[in-house]
Structure 1
Amino acid sequence: MKNKILYLFVSALVIISCDKALDITPDGRLTLEDVFKDEHQTEAYLNTVYSSIPSYSYYYHFFTYIAGVTDECQDAAVGNTPGNIANLWITGAMTPDFNPLENGPGGHGKKHYDTFWAGIRNANVFLENVETANIPNDKNRERYKAEALILRAFYYLELIKQYGPMPIVTKPFGPAFDYTTLIRPTFQECTDFIVNDCDEAIANSYLPLRITLEPERGRFSKAVAYAIKSQALLYNASPLWNPENSTAKWQAASTASEEALSKLTDGGEYELFPDYEQYFFSSSDINPSPRDRETILEIKATGHPSFRNTNALPSMPGQNNAGITPTQELVDSYDMLGTGEPAILGYNDEDHLEPIINTNSGYDPANPYDGRDPRFYATVWYNGALLDNIAGKIHVVETFLGGADALKKTPPNKNNTHTGYYLRKFHDPKLQNGQNAQSRWKKYHLAEIYLNYAEAENEANGPTVEAYNAINKIRERVGMPNLPAGLSKDEFRKRVRNERRVELVIEEHRFWDVRRWKILDQTDKLVTGMEVIKNGDNFEYERFVTERRNAWQDKFLIFPIPIKDTSIIPDFNDNQNPGW
């Protein structure tokens, strides 16, 4: 990190106008003084601060989501592609010198430790110079400053979620900086720093609440600051960073999320998109009166304008990679539509082969996919599901043994599901093979803040009316019944965690949620699938363990600080994360 922080590469700042090229020094680099004397170069440097936002989505490896190393999904590349991140992750291959999530080809900014520190460094350079920069319009100056503050908060939050508390740095490092003086603060101190940056940006009258102009797509707004603040305080209050279970931390998280919802939804600036499935098929429309008022921040993957319409079923023309396939554990998490009750309450065995069926829910083991939460049908292709666009015809998904989309246990291959399911979320069935879905990764959207509020409010004050209202708002969108009245705090906690699981599925929340809740040893030891056998017109269903994993121990709650930094920063070496 030392060298990466010390040297400022500004080649990306060289902007050639229509009539002249900016002067550069003989070695081909602009000096910082030159950059901030020029209005256009100053704006370009702010773009450089933005440039450390990673691609996310399926860019960790070739068409790989990190959901494939959670209990949401199994990656079909396991057993087929040795360098795939899931192959490496499930064996427990991570070390202070090797992060499996960074292995192989992938998207922009995949090496998160370096990427986020680069973002912090560039934000600090910008904030150090913006007050005296050549920006004739003071409104622009104030808005740029607010954006840089939110960007710094964003990078810090993403960094500490993964690596734990990191030194709070507010100034660019000079050539003579003594790195041995860097000290790890507490997670609370990092959270306070993030919140302060967000609050300062929110107080800025020149920063808009919502982006309404297409040329400004991707710029940070007050809504982004509210979302970051809500998430940061929720993480700070969670068991991983709140072992004493301080009610004050939960109350701070609840208050922040309540304020965010009030500021965002009052006046109708933000509201839940009416159709859950369709919401993930398109990019937000940026204008003063948009159809999509739920999205707070979308990520445009570098090098790709949008999600690709990746084929998911072997029966689809040109399909050659099933990608991540949903697990039986994920399928079991969807409630019943008619009663609103969980179908499966847990398991009688460690291998999850003996489900505890909720006999009051209406679940029928002989017809396991009937009458489930509508979000199930928007997320999972299952045996008997209808796909209406294979060569212009309706296709019945056949995952049964011998079917067109059959489960393949042995030998494993990357074309067929390993679990008995395929991923439907993000896959628009109306698009023809090879077409791109015009959508972007929704990093923050309103549904998350409702769920943040419901969780924090319950932990701070029990299942209050406000906590119920927040979670029921989410359920109402898809036509699910309200949660039953009279739940205890523990019962409500279980329901809100499950609600978060099915609402935000495959959106990278589950990977971090099970860590902040400290339940990795309950969720990540194995995943199961469903083998379907066809007998005439009937089907039999048999659960089986499809993958056992070795990355569930407590040390995997927090990633190790890379060895390159522990070797030059004594406090990092003395306070390496537990187990590493």
Structure 2
Amino acid sequence: MQDMKFQRLLWIILPLALFFNNCADVLDMAPDGNMQMDEVLSDPNKVEALLNSCYNNIPQKGFTYWFYENLPIAASDDAYTSYEAADDPITGIYSDANSASSHHMRDAYDGHGGGNNDYWIRSWQQIRLCTQFIELIDESAVNRETDRGRFKAEARVLRAFFYMELIKWFGKVPILEATVPFDADFSTMTRSSVYDVAKFIASDCDAALTEPNLPWRIDHQDDAMRVTKALALALKTKAMLFAASPLHNEGEDHWEEAYTTAKDAVAKLKANGYELFTKTTQPAVYGTGPGAALRQLVSQNADYSATPRDKETIFQIRSGGLFVWHIGYIGSNMPNTYKCGASPTQELVDAFETIDGQPILNLEKPYLDEKHLQPNYNASNTLYDPNNPYANRDPRFDETVLHNGSTIVFDSKTVEIETFIGGAHAPNFDITDKSFSRTGYYPTKMVTPGASGNNQINSSNWKYYRLGETLLDLAEAAAEAGHLNDARAAANEVRARSGMPDLPASLSQEELILRIRNERRVELAWEEQRYFDLRRWQKPTGNLSETCKWFTAMVITKKNDGGFSYTRQNVSSSSRGGWQNRDLLLPLPLEEAATLEAVTGQKWQNTGW
């Protein structure tokens, strides 16, 4: 039995996907399985197909998860799902029905065909393929000699990408710099620190950055999803941000290094044509308000051109990943809709400042009680009115959240959202009814406004990295390292896009860190960042009880005079799962961890699993 388990481990670390078909578009080539390796390496087209295999298994995002639920968003404090069916992964997450052998986040279907242990197995498969390609390309046939360097650089950036995915989900992992033979001695294999993995990611990215034939930007549709020098910089920045964060830093202070890495990345990105998308090119669709540009950026594909409209997006997947078909949009039994899905929480709504730049709540202690029913209001905020809570808010609020009084165009008609009791879109706390929000809010950030019909599909591409995110990575690292002016400047650049005032120069370091963390939440809402931010900000002994245990909805009553009264209510009478210490990282697959522990004599499984 032990030999069988070890053989399974070998198949994880040593996948044999080596043989590929010809195809006119290199990124569409698929495995064949009928050729010998020397046949592949002697044919330039098949070498390109081998590179294509390195692009496989990039995780799908948006609403392509099993049963159209965006799991990392629904499992963060930004959202609560409308529907908890017995066989839904999100139900398993909320009820803590997870183990190392079966975990609803780690093993969820995400558009690739499902299967167990997907994040773990797929990432290692791709790392193996990238490493193999790096080792073989120097002696392989290529159509143009300039291809050789570019192909190797692409494989290095892709290897860095998949190592970054492993860090995000699992923390420490082994560093495999070379392909591992079947008869290797695994007894000395160890899980490297996140810092060491981040340095390995940086070394791959630095090598790619020196390659003259690796472009800064993809300018033709045929090369869609190819990696670039820009992605290498974004990955370096992200890896060091994680390495410096409390969950992963092992008591070491890496913030200065994270800061210098991010500052260098932002400077080089800007020097090579990357900039924030600050003005909508479709005012008839997105309006002319200060939040319009961000809404267009996240709900439309980046274009491939030498002079693109969107100069902010760094890396997007090749084909539609958002897949909004009124799934995760309005639901509410409106025509041609299917389900509501994850909906914004009152906690997310509370994160949006008023237009004068003042937080609604005291960010150090947002709530006075465990269940979040007693908001701890910011005494310096004079614009927020609990009896008129949606007025005078950060413009990004209306571009992210549908609330009572919002308007949308649906079925060629203007519809006003009614989330008050008895209204057309009122919340329903019945977990068996998938059509209505359980929070009193609906998401709108990823939806193109103003569609003429009621089958409002948005299949735009998921954007993994964009300059706005990297700027906020810089802002956080700078604040943590004590470079407060640089931290404010980076955050203010992002805020200015949406018409928000600068962060005050009078903020202390601790206050500035809290403001930048909140800025990340607002700017990157619904982009799968919050799930990881909440975790990496915790110490290894911490948990998510303050943020991910209790959640609130807004229950609105319409008064006789036409006004409204607002009452906070818990979404559920019981706490939601997924907040314990063990939930800071996903478990390694049970059998793989057990086998590695038996072979190495060292602990491999993450704490609590």
TM-score tier (shorter) = over 0.9
1:307 corresponds to: 323
Q: Map 1:558-573 to 2 at 5 A.
A: 558-570=585-597, 571=600
Deviates more, 1:182-191 or 1:308-317: 308-317
Of 536, 541, 545, which aligns to 2:570?
Answer: 545
Structure-to-structure mapping, 1:414-429, within 5 angstroms: 414-429=434-449
1:489-504 alignment, distance < 5 Å: 489-504=509-524
Distance 1:541 1:572, change over 3 A: farther
DSSP 3-state at the match of 1:505: coil
The equivalent of 1:374 in structure 2 is 395
Q: Find runs of 4+ consecutive structure 1 residues off by over 6 angstroms.
A: none
Q: Distance in 1 between matches of 2:470 and 2:536?
A: 17
Deviation at 1:151, TM superposition (A): 0.4
Q: Give the equivalent residue in structure 2 for 1:3.
A: 11
1:579 aligns with 2:608: yes
The Cα offsets for residues 347-403 of structure 1, whole Å up to 9 and x where unpaired, read as 11111101122243210000001111111100001011111x222211110111111
Corresponding position: 1:214 with 2:235: no
**The one of 553, 559, 565 aligned to 1:529:** 553
Structure 1 equivalent of residue 527 of structure 2: 507
Cα deviation, residue 10, structure 1: 4.0
Which residue of structure 2 aligns with residue 348 of structure 1? 368
Q: 2:404 matched to 1:400?
A: no
What is residue 82 of structure 2 aligned with on the other side?
A: 76
Please tell me the residue identity of whatever aligns with 1:291: R
Q: Does 1:237 align with 2:264?
A: no
Q: Would the alpha carbon gap of residues 305 and 419 (structure 1) be closer, same or farther in structure 2, given more than 3 Å must change? A: closer
Please provide the CA RMSD for this pair. 2.1
Counterpart position of 1:385: 406
Measure how far apart 1:176 and its partner are: 1.9
Cα drift, residue 269 of structure 1: 3.6
Output the CA distance in 2 between the equivalents of 1:251 and 1:272. 29
Mapped to 1, the partners of 2:524 and 2:595 lie a distance apart of 39
CA deviations over 1:512-550 (Å, ceiling 9, x no partner): 111100162321112111111111201111101114223
Counterpart residue type for residue 324 of structure 2: R
CA 205–409 in structure 1, closer or farther in 2 if over 3 Å, else same? same
**How far has the Cα of 1:412 moved from its partner?**
4.5
Give the Cα–Cα distance (whole angstroms) in 1 for the partners of residues 249 and 107 of structure 2.
32
1:106 counterpart SS class: coil
Q: Cα gap change, 1:403/1:350 in structure 2, threshold over 3 Å: closer, same or farther?
A: same
Residue 57 of structure 1 deviates from its aligned partner by 1.8
Task: Using structure 2 for the length normalisation, give the TM-score.
Answer: 0.89
- 1: distance between equivalents of 2:206 and 2:272? 21
After the TM superposition, which of the residue ranges 378-387 and 560-569 deviates more from structure 2?
A: 560-569
Whether the 8 Å CA contact 1:230–1:449 is kept in 2: the answer is yes
In the alignment, residue 578 of structure 2 is paired with which amino acid? A
Alignment correspondent of 1:327? 345
Match of 1:541, SS?
Answer: strand
Conserved 8 A contact 2:323-2:459: yes
CA distance 1:442–1:544, shift in 2 (3 Å): same
Q: What are structure 2's unaligned runs of at least 5 residues?
A: 1-8, 280-292
After superposition, the C-alpha distances for 1:477-521 in whole angstroms (9 at most, x for unaligned) are 000111112100100010000000010011111111111001623
Mapped to 2, the partners of 1:158 and 1:289 lie a distance apart of 31
1:279: Cα distance to partner?
1.2
TM value normalised by structure 1: 0.93
Taking a change above 3 Å as real, the CA distance of residues 187 and 281 of structure 1, as seen in their structure-2 partners, is closer
Residue number among 111, 116, 119 corresponding to 1:107 in the alignment: 111
SS in 1 for 2:92: helix
Tell me, in whole angstroms, the C-alpha distance in 1 between the residues paired with 2:255 and 2:217. 27
Offset at residue 306 of structure 1 (A): 6.1
8 Å CA contact retained: 1:202, 1:222:
yes
Within 5 Å, which residues of 2 pair with 1:120-519?
120-244=127-251, 246=253, 249-266=254-271, 268-274=273-279, 275-301=293-319, 304=320, 307-311=323-327, 312-313=329-330, 314=332, 316-337=334-355, 339-345=356-362, 346-361=366-381, 362-387=383-408, 389-410=409-430, 412-431=432-451, 432-437=453-458, 439-463=460-484, 465-518=485-538
Amino acid at match of 1:526: W
Would the alpha carbon gap of residues 572 and 2 (structure 1) be closer, same or farther in structure 2, given more than 3 Å must change?
farther
CA contact (8 A) 2:216 2:272 kept: no
Distance 1:109 1:577, change over 3 A: farther
**Structure 2 CA distance, aligned partners of 1:265 and 1:420?**
40
Q: Partners in 1 of 2:415 and 2:434 — Cα distance?
A: 21
Which letter does structure 1 place at the counterpart of 2:428? K
In 2, Cα distance between the equivalents of 1:575 and 1:6?
19
Deviation of the 1:264 alpha carbon? 1.0
Q: Distance in 2 between matches of 1:7 and 1:340?
A: 52
Structure 1 residue 441: deviation in Å?
A: 0.6
Q: How many residue pairs end up in the alignment?
A: 564
- Residue aligning to 1:61: 66
* Structure 1: tracts of 5 or more residues without a match: none
Describe the SS at the equivalent of 2:324: coil
1:109, distance to aligned residue in structure 2 (A) = 7.2
Question: Does the C-alpha gap of structure 1 residues 73 and 16 become closer, same or farther in structure 2, counting only changes over 3 Å?
Answer: closer
Asked if the contact 1:309/1:428 (under 8 Å) is kept, the reply is no
Separation in structure 2 between the aligned mates of residue 215 and residue 305 of structure 1, nearest angstrom: 18
Q: 3-state DSSP class of the match of 1:50?
A: coil
